[in-house]
Amino acid sequence: MPANPLIALVNGRVLGDHGPREGLAVLVRGKRIVAIVAHDDARMADAQRHDLQGRLLLPGFIDVQVNGGGGLLFNDAPTVETLRGIAEAHRKYGTTGMLPTLITDTAEQMHAALAAVDEAIEQHIPGILGIHVEGPFLATARKGIHNANLFRQPDASDIEVLTAPHRGAVMLTLAPDQVPPSIIARLSEAGVIVVAGHTGADYATTRAALDAGVCGFTHLYNAMTPLSSRDPGVVGAALDDPHSWCGLIVDGHHVHPATLRVAIAAKASGKCVLVTDAMPPVGSDRPDYVLNGQTIVMRDGICQSEDGVLAGSALDMAGAVRNTVELLGIPLAEASRMASSYPAEWIGLGRTHGRIAAGYRADFAVLDDSLTVHETWVGGAIYPVG
């Protein structure tokens, strides 16, 4: 057997740039897609065939907000082993790339998390594309489940560690009403993907932050000032701005479906991204976990504290795509892009990840018509589900 064989994924419906198509084969060698060809293409003669059994072949999902999974919470132990376990848990649901997310914590934990992600990427842990640091530069008035006792302004040490060279993407959620535009600009110019969230900012403050380098919004609508007739707030600024991305949690609990449809209709094409905000119950039989000393329990798909505060979600990416189709009425091709090519663009990987096209990473999710995942491919390696 050749050391680097040509593999042909056949008998599937390939979701390319123009929707699902039958009668095509996807040729893979190593970690990359070689070509999309007809079944009678001459190159098929030398390929090892992998039968998709008539299922859908979608680009692998990319989740830019993953707090935990498989019973593990990144904050509890920001280590390579934790990252390995979280990525493995989400891989069952078609996630081939993620930004593990550190919720507001101490400076020491933030430094440890950044180092762990760098080490995981160096060790080629499948699916780790970078890190999302959500806090601690947030607003107490919109704290959600975050520990407001740890909120603070970024100091020179924070800026140094965030802007230092890292092996993957670095996304930072901050509150524009707590961090001045000069700091936002400094972070953005150094390559940090600066996004707004957990903020009580008004429209003008948010607009100034966008001009300084904020490029997106963390879980749009949640933990931010709403849109109203005379005060557009953060939501108004997000929907009004044609260039920024918006993360959407489509779980049927965080945001009403009609409200999500309004955002998708208002934003420019390609700027709405599906995220999970996933917590340890995803991929685990255990419904409870501890966050900031509080016991959080997942009931009926909702993760809440004892006093009813939402604490992330029990959503996986396959579920997010399914809900986007079923609850929002979005075509599968667009829902898939919201989970793959759009997040890839957001984190600077649009030329290598998120599409089924020649030269792109061989990252796939294989789903049946109920949008249940049966196989996940990461970098040309297959991970059967079940």
Strand order of the β-sheet with 373-378 is: 19-21, 13-16, 56-59, 364-367, 373-378, 381-384
Cα separation, 224 vs 150, in Å, equals: 19
Terminal alpha carbon distance of the chain: 27
Alpha-carbon distance of 333 to 358, in angstroms, equals 18
CA distances from 332 to 36, 84, 156 (A): 20, 30, 45
Round to whole Å and give the CA distance between 257 and 362: 32
d(CA 262, CA 259): 5
- Residue ranges in 138-232 assigned as alpha helix (H): 156-163, 181-189, 203-212
Q: Is 277 assigned a catalytic role?
A: yes
* C-alpha to C-alpha distance for 134 and 16, rounded to whole angstroms: 33
Give percent helix, percent strand, percent coil of the chain, each to the nearest 5.
30, 30, 45
Q: What 3-state class would DSSP assign to 128?
A: strand
> Two tokens at 266?
């208002």
Q: Are 131 and 99 in contact (CB under 8 A)?
A: yes
The closest of 58, 39, 25, 4 to 374, measured between CA atoms, is 58
Cis peptide bond upstream of 136, omega within 30: yes
Q: How many degrees, rounded to 5, is the angle at CA 347 between CA 257 and CA 138?
A: 70
CA distance 253 to 313: 9
Place of tokens 């390995």: 84
Distance CA 208, CA 51 (A): 52
Q: Are 339 and 274 in contact (CB under 8 A)?
A: yes
Other C-beta atoms within 10 Å of 228: how many?
A: 10
| Element of type H or E holding 159 | helix 156-163
Instruction: Spot the catalytic one: 63, 118, 158, 277.
Output: 277
Q: State the catalytic residues.
A: 277
